[in-house]
Amino acid sequence: MSVLGSVVHWFRLDLRVHDNLALRNAINEAENRKNFLRPIYIIEPDILKQIRGNRLRFLIQSLHDLDANLRKLNTRLYIVRGKTSECLPELLKKWNVKYLTLQVDIDPFYIKQDEVIENFCDKNDIFVVKRVQHTVYNPQTVLKKNNGNVPLTYQKFLSLVNDIQVKECIEIKKEISEDCKSSDFNSKSYDVPSLTEIELDESSDFKYPGGESEGLKRLLTYMAKKQWVCSFEKPNTSPNSIEPSTTVLSPYISHGCLSARLFYHKLKQVESEMRHSEPPVSLLGQLMWREFYYTAGTGTENFDRMVGNSLCTQIPWGNNKDHLKAWSEGKTGYPFVDAIMRQLTQEGWIHHLARHMVACFLTRGDLWVSWEEGAKVFEDLLLDYDWSLNAGNWMWLSASAFFYKYFRVYSPVAFGKKTDKDGLYIKKYVPELKKFPSEYIYEPWKAPQSVQRAAGCIIGENYPKRIVDHDKVHKENMKKMSEAYKINKEKKALKRPRSD
């Protein structure tokens, strides 16, 4: 056991040095107490099995970058491997820790970890400091302003935060003193694993490399395009452009490589200089959607499930495993849907309206599969996977919560054509259809055999036949939705106290 005590900052969804109050608290405490400073990240064995290539690579790259940025401050990242509930208490003892800092994370996975660790700290006289720094506003403050209730509409949410002053970002200005370096500072056993060590390809060129430095660079590149920022209107961006039509800052914000508050202040600064679009469609409006879902996720039990979730309409979804598989592998026979799902698998990011398309298709639109199943696939594949944003948006798209015009269904044929008549996006991600004429690119089953042969792709052989007939199934689904809404309404009426 070290004679001198240690101060630990435990990184989780805050993989950055900028605007990290909990980290700064740890640094100040180590300096004041003349303790060792040990910023840690725990790699759970299960995580390596659970999350797939793209997300894992993004995480590992972010950890390398975090380590490099900490070294610029004369400290480092200590990677700890093991189950948090076992290895962290052991280390807190071994390192004689008296002060632990961390960010508040609302994902139930972290809440469960926190309970175990805080309990241990309580018994062992370790002071724990937790900071809300993953959102612009503190979701608890917003809930309190609404008498403890979740604001059910975006406009209501905006009215609640309207007069909340957003704090300035935190900076860590000076290098940490040599005294705070422990004797095992240079130990290789705490190094961040390389990509090859965890069997990921190191040589490829990645479209969205992980890390704080990349996140900040991307933010500044976009903020320099002031006219673009100020005229941004989400519905006018394209789900199927070859290069993204929105910022793709989401993977950086979700991992905490980029501070949401820094993004907020930068946007405010740009907007102060010229006329600009407004929420909900503006870029600042997008960030507020994130805040809205965080508030809802914080205030709702079982937010990521249908049963036991007070916000969620109970819908008797089906359980067609073949359909779910075809959807997740991009083999539904609807080229636009398949292109989106294949882009997601290959690159880990898809446009918001592309998410609309495939989420609607899987649920109320076509396949009648539960939104929870879709959310699991997204959790596996999205670089920007975020517990509350994923669940909240899936509920929206399946018309289970927040959005109730269930009869507004996206057509897997017409929707993509609006922004990509010739199907260039489809040709990129579904190469089997590369030589198909534009006329049939969204409905290849309609192409005569001669056209299919000339394009080198026979439908049913080289590319799947469509698994459902959209025109038919969506009408059947609307009847089921109408019935489910009716039953939910009746149940709610029964629960309401009678006034007589």
Provide Rg for the chain, Cα atoms: 25
Min CB(34)–ligand FAD separation in Å: 40
Packing angle, helices 371-381 and 352-360, rounded to 10: 140
Coil vs helix vs strand at 215: helix
Residue among 29 and 386 whose Cβ is closer to ligand FAD: 386
Give bridge partners of residue 99 from the DSSP assignment: 7, 127
**Residue 489 structure tokens:** 């309404």
**Smallest distance from the beta carbon of 494 to ligand FAD, in angstroms?**
31
Q: Which of 269, 47, 280 is nearest to 166 (CA)?
A: 269
Query: Measured from the CB of residue 104, what is the shortest distance to ligand FAD in angstroms?
Result: 18
Task: Using CB under 6 A, pick the residue from 29, 114, 366, 386 that binds ligand FAD.
Answer: 386
Among 145, 226, 331, 352, binds ligand FAD (CB under 6 A): 352
From candidates 212, 373, 384, 443, binder to ligand FAD by CB under 6 A? 384
Q: Max alpha carbon distance in the chain (Å)?
A: 81
In one-letter notation, the amino acid at residue 205 is D
- Of 135, 298, 390, 411, the residue at the interface with ligand FAD (CB under 6 A) is 390
Distances (CA, A) of 235 to 244, 318, 344, 358, 418: 14, 31, 20, 17, 12
Q: Which residues, in sequence order, are CB contacts of 493 under 8 Å at separation 6+?
A: none
Q: Does 377 contact ligand FAD by CB under 6 A?
A: no
Q: Which stretch binds ligand FAD (CB under 6 A): 119-127, 250-258, 401-409, 463-471?
A: 250-258
* Closer by beta carbon to ligand FAD, 99 or else 394: 394
Smallest distance from the beta carbon of 308 to ligand FAD, in angstroms? Answer: 21
| Region binding ligand FAD by CB under 6 A among candidate stretches 84-92, 269-277, 391-399, 433-441 | 391-399
Question: Which residues in the 401-430 window bind ligand FAD by CB under 6 A?
Answer: none
CA distance 95 to 306: 43
Among 172, 248, 270, 484, binds ligand FAD (CB under 6 A): 248
> Cα separation of 473 and 490, whole Å?
26
Binding map of ligand FAD across residues 283-312, x = CB under 6 A, - = no contact:
---xx-xx--x-------------------
Residue 452 interacts with ligand FAD (CB under 6 A): yes or no: no
Alpha-carbon dihedral angle through residues 431, 433, 436, 438, given to the nearest 10 degrees: -90
Closer to ligand FAD by CB, 118 or 347: give it.
Answer: 347
Taking residues 125 to 164 in sequence order and writing x for each that binds ligand FAD by CB under 6 A, - otherwise, the string is: ----------------------------------------
Smallest separation (angstroms) from ligand FAD to the CB of 46:
20
Give 6's strand partners. Answer: 36, 97
CA end-to-end span of the chain: 70
The reply on whether position 397 binds ligand FAD by CB under 6 A is yes
Return the residue of 104, 340, 344, 359 that touches ligand FAD, per CB under 6 A.
359
Give the dihedral of Cα atoms 54, 59, 65, 69; nearest 10 deg: 160
Q: How many residues bind ligand FAD (CB under 6 A)?
A: 28
Q: Which of 24, 55, 355, 427 binds ligand FAD (CB under 6 A)?
A: 355
Q: Where are the alpha helices (DSSP H) in 364-448?
A: 371-381, 387-397, 414-417, 424-429
Which range binds ligand FAD by CB under 6 A, 96-104, 183-191, 281-289, 475-483?
Answer: 281-289
Segments in 300-423 forming alpha helices (H): 321-328, 335-347, 352-360, 371-381, 387-397, 414-417
Sign of CA dihedral 396, 400, 403, 409: positive
Smallest gap from Cβ 258 to ligand FAD, in A, equals: 9
Cβ closest to ligand FAD, residue 246 vs residue 298: 246
DSSP H or E run through 38: strand 36-43
Residue 37 interacting with ligand FAD (CB under 6 A): no
> Whose Cβ is closer to ligand FAD: residue 9's or residue 55's?
55
> Could you give the CA distance from residue 417 to residue 408 in angstroms, rounded to a whole number?
17
Closest to ligand FAD by CB, 13 or 484: 13
Q: Which residues contact 134 (CB under 8 A, 6 or more apart)?
A: 13, 14, 103, 104, 105, 256, 260, 294
Closest approach of ligand FAD to the CB of residue 289, in Å: 4
Instruction: List the one residue from 25, 35, 101, 246 that touches ligand FAD (CB under 6 A).
Output: 246
Residue 65 lies near ligand FAD (rule: CB under 6 A)? no
Give kind and range of the element (H or E) at residue 238: none
Name the site residues for ligand FAD (rule: CB under 6 A): 234, 246-250, 253-254, 286-287, 289-290, 293, 351-352, 355-356, 359, 378, 382, 384-386, 389-390, 393-394, 397
